[in-house]
């Protein structure tokens, strides 16, 4: 039997809007992508409660949430944000891509449409 204030991890992930469905949450847990207080959860029936820190590995990011409350329903996003505190470190800022194309003189490179037509007329004249 579950302790008071605790909830299945797959339900909590669904209610907190981390994943779109409860079956996706169960697959995420079964794949070993969820850690509770640094311990890997293996079953979707694992319990989480207030104070637990969850490390969630998604496709392109890692989320770190502290559970504040169990969920009662999958409500709007504002309601879901009340279930956790986001401890995720800010993403590293990448340097802006520099235009690495070499400068070239006007007229060098591929011809414009106008220049191509002029070349075609020159070739047809021959």
In a domain, 17, yes or no: yes
Q: Are 62 and 55 in contact (CB under 8 A)?
A: yes
At 1 the pLDDT is 45
Determine the structural domain holding residue 77 and report its residue range.
7-86
pLDDT at res. 102: 66
Nearest to 4 by CA among 69, 60, 64: 69
Total structural domains within the chain: 1
Average pLDDT of the chain, as a whole number? 89
* Displacement of CA 55 from its chain's centroid (Å): 13
User: Does residue 94 sit within a domain?
Assistant: no
The least confident of 64-68, 107-111, 113-117, 118-122 is 107-111
Q: Is 77 a residue whose pLDDT tops 70?
A: yes
- Residue 100 located in a structural domain: no
19 falls within a domain = yes
Residue 63 CB partners (closer than 8 Å, separation 6+): 18, 54, 55, 56, 86, 88
* CATH number of the domain enclosing 53: 3.10.290.10
* Residue 91's pLDDT band (cuts 50, 70, 90): confident
Are 50 and 66 in contact, with CB atoms under 8 Å apart?
no
């Amino acid at each position: 039997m579950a302790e008071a204030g605790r909830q299945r991890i797959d339900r909590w992930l669904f209610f907190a809007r981390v994943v779109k469905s409860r079956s996706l949450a169960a697959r995420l847990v079964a794949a070993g992508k969820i850690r509770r207080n640094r311990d890997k959860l293996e079953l979707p029936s694992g319990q989480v409660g207030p104070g637990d820190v969850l490390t969630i590995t998604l496709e392109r990011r890692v989320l770190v949430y502290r559970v504040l409350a169990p969920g009662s329903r999958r409500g709007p996003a504002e309601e879901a944000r009340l279930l956790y505190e986001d401890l995720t470190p800010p993403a590293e800022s990448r340097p802006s891509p520099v235009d690495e194309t070499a400068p070239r003189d006007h007229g060098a490179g591929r011809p414009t449409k106008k220049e191509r037509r002029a070349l075609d007329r020159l070739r047809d004249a021959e």
